[in-house]
Amino acid sequence: MVKPVIAVTLSSRELADMVFWRRMFDGLQECGAIAFAVDCGTAPLNVAGLLEHVDGLLVSGGVDVDPALYGEDPHDPMVGPTNPIRDDNEIAAVEYACRAGFPALAICRGAQLVNAARGGTLYVDLPRDRPSDVSHRRTEEELATTAHNVDVEAGSRLAEWLGDSGRFAVNSQHHQGIRTLAPGLVATAFADDGLIEAYEATEQPLSAIQWHPEIDWPDNKASRRLLEGFVGSCQGLQPCHAASAR
């Protein structure tokens, strides 16, 4: 069977700060895909030319989304480094994927970016703007371990990939979060504090999550199932795994 080709967007300028970035490619390949990197962070890209022959798109995590995209103050002291060039390239990549009809999975920053680009809003800084007892921001090194639970909605694409709905333990490393969803998007998972942790487009094969299954997949069965489900969707296959112990 021909392996699906999946483009992974990232910024080469940020790789030095991403301890586990190689796991992202290893995980996709382990689940049956051919994955290649698209450096979105340095210059404007011809997205259509780069993605013309791919079967799927993964938008990876990284720096903060430009606050101008969701109507917040770019000079807010809680806004971290941003990269508007990366924002523009990744927005174009996601919209190309949706027009072409192949699956796209946006992770962490990617989930926030897509929502903001489509008219949704974000919390600039969760500890300040939406404090809770849930640990949403761990260190980069702690991404290999779980941080909190999420409840996945039945009937969602995410539940299909996971093989089940209900409660799952996930890792976490984000200080921003989704405040309101853009039109055409529906929430598919929530943290215990009610924060939206995942969503999907109602009319397009677009899914987004706040956690990082591409990093803890070697030790987290649910994360591996999620990656397998995404890769399978890029191949036009339904998930064939059975729900197993989480």
Catalytic residue numbers read 108, 212, 214
**Residue linked to tokens 């803890």:** 216
Q: Three-class SS of residue 123? A: strand
Of 169, 171, 164, the residue nearest 149 (C-alpha): 169
169 within 8 A of 144, measured Cβ to Cβ: no
69 within 8 A of 115, measured Cβ to Cβ: no
Hey, what are 90's tokens? 């990744």
The Cα–Cα gap between 88 and 68 comes to 12
The Cα–Cα gap between 29 and 23 comes to 10
Instruction: List phi, psi (to 5°) of 15.
Output: -65, -30
Task: Return the amino acid letter for 198.
Answer: A
CA distances from 8 to 90, 94, 154, 222, 237 (A): 10, 11, 28, 21, 20
Q: Residues 102, 103, 108, 113: what is their CA dihedral angle, to the nearest 10 degrees?
A: 40
Task: Return the amino acid letter for 118.
Answer: R
109 within 8 A of 65, measured Cβ to Cβ: yes
